[in-house]
């Protein structure tokens, strides 16, 4: 693939500078995170690349309430981080292992992953159920829920995603992720993530999301509503999985039919909730 139209590769040192460069470049300018998507699918009219990895935004820090991940941390840095490993029984690393291969994860950044917002992204459904927030910089910094961001029309405009916050978890917090794909390395035919908070054996709160339906991942409020007040028995799990199959909107694309995806969401929710139930039994 030729990228010979690119005439400038700029390496700003502050978000202010990056934003100015992008505004000056207009339509012909593009931010680069890890560059995995940009290098592969660069539109012919993009002539200026602005690298965000020189902004020093790759640290991962834990505060009392959340783990703050800089936008240019690579997916493997997130996977290997000890604070991240403490979130809901290590579910983030478990999911990350299913994203491409280590070769990709050593370059691809968490920021680029959330901004490119692929409908089959494995990262997005899990971060939605973990209630992740993001900080955007467009001259001012603002923080919002990841779900609110995708629901809003403007999405990113020219903003720089500077960090992602994942709440720290405590006793009773559990999460699981399931990806269906033809091979371990392929992208998802469908994926889903479940979070539950359990007190005295009963679920008090639930968040469930599915991606690759084939649309971008969203939360599934009707499915979530079936859990609070319930213990995670086989019967409850079966019923919740059926609600997922009957209510989640799926469609055909070249990877799978909508009908097949309905079976996948049923099996995915079931497998996530069974995994959590097993952890509860094992007292982990």
Partner 1 sequence: MIDITLTINGEKRQFAVNPGETLLELLRREGYKSVKKGCESGDCGACTIILNGRAVTSCIVFAVKADGGTILTAEGLENDGKLHPIQEAFLEEGAVQCGYCTPGMEMATYDLLSHNPDPSPLEIKEALSGNLCRCTGYVKQVKAVKTAAKKISGEAK
Question: In the complex, which residues of this chain contact ligand FAD (CB under 6 A)?
Answer: 30-38, 52, 71, 99-100, 104, 107-109, 111-113, 115-116, 118, 121-123, 156, 160-161, 187
Question: Which CB sits closer to partner 1, 92 or 226?
Answer: 92
> Which pair of structure tokens corresponds to residue 225?
């509503």
Chosen residue from 23, 59, 142, 185 binding partner 1 by CB under 8 A: 185
Q: By CB under 8 A, is residue 7 in contact with partner 1?
A: yes
Residues in contact with partner 1, counted by CB under 8 A, come to a total of 30
CB 162 within 8 A of CB 70: yes
> Which pair of structure tokens corresponds to residue 175?
């999460």
Q: By CB under 8 A, is residue 103 in contact with partner 1?
A: yes
**Of ligand FAD, partner 1, none, which one does residue 102 interact with (CB within 5 to 8 Å by kind)?**
partner 1
**Of partner 1, ligand FAD, none, which one does residue 109 interact with (CB within 5 to 8 Å by kind)?**
ligand FAD
Q: Considering only residues 70-99, where is the footprint of partner 1 by CB under 8 A?
A: 76, 97
First CA to last CA across the chain, in angstroms? Answer: 49
Q: By CB under 8 A, is residue 110 in contact with partner 1?
A: no
Nearest distance from C-beta of residue 251 to partner 1, angstroms: 25
Q: Considering only residues 139-178, where is the footprint of partner 1 by CB under 8 A?
A: none
Question: Which CB sits closer to ligand FAD, 88 or 217?
Answer: 217
**Of ligand FAD, partner 1, none, which one does residue 22 interact with (CB within 5 to 8 Å by kind)?**
none
**Of partner 1, ligand FAD, none, which one does residue 113 interact with (CB within 5 to 8 Å by kind)?**
ligand FAD
The site string for partner 1 over 212-251 (x = CB under 8 A, - otherwise) reads ----------------------------------------
Half-sphere exposure of 39 (CA within 13 A, CB side): 9
For residues 118 and 272, give the distance between their C-alpha atoms in angstroms, rounded to a whole number: 22
What residue ranges bind partner 1 (CB under 8 A)?
1-9, 11, 32, 35-36, 39-40, 42, 49, 51, 53, 76, 97, 100-104, 106-107, 184-185
């Amino acid at each position: 693939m030729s990228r010979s139209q690119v005439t400038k590769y700029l390496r700003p040192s502050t978000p202010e500078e990056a934003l100015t460069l992008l505004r000056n470049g207009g339509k012909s300018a593009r931010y680069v995170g890890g560059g995995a998507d940009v290098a592969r699918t660069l539109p012919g009219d993009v002539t200026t690349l602005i690298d965000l990895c020189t902004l020093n935004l790759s640290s991962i820090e834990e505060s009392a309430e959340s783990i703050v991940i800089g936008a240019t941390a690579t997916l493997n840095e997130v996977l290997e981080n000890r604070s991240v490993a403490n979130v809901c029984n290590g579910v983030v690393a478990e999911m990350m292992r299913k994203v491409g291969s280590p070769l990709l994860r050593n370059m691809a950044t968490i920021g680029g992953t959330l901004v490119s917002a692929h409908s089959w992204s494995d990262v997005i459904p899990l971060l939605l159920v973990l209630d992740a927030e993001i900080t955007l910089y467009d001259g001012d910094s603002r923080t919002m829920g990841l779900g609110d961001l995708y629901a809003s029309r403007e999405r990113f405009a020219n903003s720089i995603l500077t960090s992602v916050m994942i709440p720290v978890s405590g006793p009773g917090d559990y999460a699981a992720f399931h990806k269906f794909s033809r091979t371990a390395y392929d992208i998802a035919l469908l994926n889903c993530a479940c979070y539950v908070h359990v007190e005295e054996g009963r679920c008090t709160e639930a968040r469930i999301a599915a991606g690759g339906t084939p649309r971008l991942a969203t939360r599934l409020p009707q499915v979530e509503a079936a859990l609070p007040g319930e213990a995670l028995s086989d019967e409850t799990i079966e019923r919740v999985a059926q609600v997922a199959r009957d209510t989640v909107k799926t469609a055909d694309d070249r990877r799978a039919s909508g009908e097949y995806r309905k079976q996948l969401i049923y099996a995915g929710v079931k497998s996530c909730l069974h995994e959590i139930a097993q952890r509860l039994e094992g007292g982990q």
